[in-house]
């Protein structure tokens, strides 16, 4: 029995390493497995990146680079929109239109164009007369039409007015929404980098000269034609509110015709304005008619030497009232039309001139037929 006990006691220490080895074996296997898993995962990630890299390198010369080039070409940047419609809201439109090249030398042959901007309620009753005016002068003009939001024009594809309607908003006479519409027209016209001069017209306006004469007269002028006068009395300074300060003082308050012609630099200044807009919107309300004061005041403050201080659109206010006289079929004679184009003396490039007006308003739709009859002889087109 003593020998048996001794034998058991002697064998006990030898059994401990065996048990420890058996306990460590699963741990080693687990470590090896985890190491193998990490290695496989790393190889997989590296392989995926290599495949993606090689795929890009393979596609780049034939597809990716060519697609990139098509989107970045100069032609794609300077090409005007095919039509007047787009999905931008006013904030996006004004922001986009305010982008202007700062290098004055264009890296392409730029033909300066005149942008004719029609602010209307709906139809253009004198469209046939304007069609004759524009005929044969493609590439020297562009057209933009702002109507009431629910109006859709139906001009044929052969018309110069086809697809020239822009996204619009409701306009109230004498309120800031009128200037919003004018800024909207300017902003859409600025999207065409070739537009250099911008003329605001209404559906009741007619041309008094042929296109060539109008183009030369505007393009050769050193000034933009925006009326901007310091007028005393209730309809001038009497509309000023001291709440307009400090941005606009009483001595800086100006009045002018709603219908203007301005160059590209002034058009950009109008669409990007954040200084005067809110002041006029809040403190120039009827009987202060903002469309007669906003642009004339802000431009006379910022660019007084750039303005001719007169309009190119003849209007008859002799009858009094809030609206000018309207002329119909019975008023249209050769003598009457000639008198409009050669009104009172004015200054052109600081020299006396007898040619003061290129457009006239306000005409009723009934005046169209006699105007078309007189156009070749009197209007020059």
pLDDT of residue 5: 42
Residue 8 has pLDDT above 60, yes or no: no
Nearest Cα neighbor of 358 from 304, 323, 315, 327 is 315
Please, what CATH class does the domain formed by 90-99+108-379 belong to?
alpha beta
Nearest Cα neighbor of 287 from 247, 233, 249, 326 is 233
Residue 240 has pLDDT above 50, yes or no: yes
Place of tokens 């160059």: 263
Average pLDDT over residues 230-250: 96
Residue 22 has pLDDT above 70, yes or no: no
Q: Is 363 helix (H, G, I), strand (E, B) or coil?
A: strand
pLDDT of residue 47: 66
Least confident range of 15-19, 56-60, 244-248: 56-60
DSSP H helical segments within 272-310, as ranges? Answer: 277-283, 294-302
pLDDT of residue 13: 47
pLDDT per residue as tens digits for the range 340-356: 877 678 999 999 999 99
* Bigger pLDDT: 42 vs 159: 159
pLDDT of residue 94: 97
Torsion angles phi and psi, residue 360, rounded to 5: -150, 155
Beta strands 195-202 and 113-119 are: parallel
Indicate the DSSP class of residue 81: P
SS3 content of the chain, % helix, strand, coil (to 5): 50, 10, 40
The verdict on whether omega for the bond into residue 246 sits within 30 degrees of 0, i.e. cis, is: yes
Q: Rounded to whole angstroms, how far apart are CA atoms 201 and 307?
A: 18
Torsion angles phi and psi, residue 79, rounded to 5: -70, 125
pLDDT of residue 381: 87
Instruction: pLDDT band for 45, please (50, 70, 90 cuts).
Output: low
Instruction: pLDDT band for 326, please (50, 70, 90 cuts).
Output: very high
Instruction: Spell out the domain ranges in the chain.
Output: 90-99+108-379
How many helices, marked H, and strands, marked E, lie in the chain? 12, 9
Q: Is 117 helix (H, G, I), strand (E, B) or coil?
A: strand
Q: Rounded to whole angstroms, how far apart are CA atoms 279 and 276?
A: 5
* Bigger pLDDT: 173 vs 144: 144
Instruction: pLDDT band for 76, please (50, 70, 90 cuts).
Output: confident
pLDDT per residue as tens digits for the range 292-325: 999 999 999 999 999 999 999 999 988 877 789 9
pLDDT, mean over the chain: 87
Instruction: pLDDT band for 104, please (50, 70, 90 cuts).
Output: confident
Tokens standing for 91?
């904030």
Tokens standing for 305?
């030497």
Q: Rounded to whole angstroms, how far apart are CA atoms 379 and 201?
A: 17
Instruction: pLDDT band for 26, please (50, 70, 90 cuts).
Output: low
pTM of the model: 0.81
Nearest Cα neighbor of 192 from 321, 322, 100 is 100
pLDDT of residue 356: 94
Distances in Å between the alpha carbon of 177 and those of 90, 150, 181, 285?
12, 16, 6, 11
Q: Rounded to whole angstroms, how far apart are CA atoms 166 and 183?
A: 12
């Amino acid at each position: 029995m003593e020998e048996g006990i001794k034998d058991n006691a002697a064998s006990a220490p030898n059994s401990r390493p065996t048990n420890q080895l058996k306990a460590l074996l699963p741990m080693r296997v687990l470590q090896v497995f985890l190491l193998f898993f990490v290695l496989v995962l790393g190889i997989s990630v590296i392989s995926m990146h290599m495949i993606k890299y090689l795929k890009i390198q393979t596609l780049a010369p034939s597809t990716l680079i060519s697609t990139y080039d098509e989107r970045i070409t100069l032609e794609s940047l300077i090409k005007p929109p095919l039509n007047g419609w787009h999905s931008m809201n006013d904030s996006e439109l004004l922001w986009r239109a305010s982008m202007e090249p700062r290098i004055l030398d264009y890296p392409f042959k730029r033909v300066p164009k005149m942008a004719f901007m029609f602010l209307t309620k709906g139809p253009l009753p004198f469209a046939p007369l304007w069609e004759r005016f524009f005929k044969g002068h493609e590439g020297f003009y562009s057209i933009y039409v702002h109507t009431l939001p629910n109006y859709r024009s139906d001009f044929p594809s052969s018309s110069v007015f086809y697809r020239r309607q822009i996204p619009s908003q409701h306009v109230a006479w004498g309120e800031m929404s009128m200037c919003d519409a004018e800024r909207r027209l300017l902003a859409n016209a600025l999207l065409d980098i070739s537009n250099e001069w911008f003329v605001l017209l209404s559906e009741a306006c007619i041309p008094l000269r042929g296109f060539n004469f109008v183009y030369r007269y505007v393009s050769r002028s050193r000034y933009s034609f925006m009326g901007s006068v310091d007028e005393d009395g209730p309809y001038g300074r009497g509309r000023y509110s001291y709440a307009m300060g400090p941005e606009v003082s009483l001595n800086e308050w100006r009045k002018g015709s709603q219908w203007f012609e301005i160059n590209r630099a002034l058009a950009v200044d109008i669409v990007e304005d954040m200084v005067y807009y809110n002041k006029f919107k809040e403190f120039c309300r009827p009987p202060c008619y903002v469309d007669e004061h906003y642009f004339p005041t802000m431009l006379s403050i910022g660019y007084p030497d750039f303005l001719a201080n007169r309009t190119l659109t003849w209007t008859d206010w002799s009858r009094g009232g809030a609206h000018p006289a309207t002329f119909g079929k019975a008023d249209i004679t050769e003598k009457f039309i000639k008198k409009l184009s050669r009104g009172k003396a004015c200054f052109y490039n600081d020299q006396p001139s007898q040619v003061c007006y290129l457009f006239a308003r306000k005409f009723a739709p009934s005046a169209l037929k006699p105007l078309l009859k007189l156009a070749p002889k009197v209007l020059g087109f």
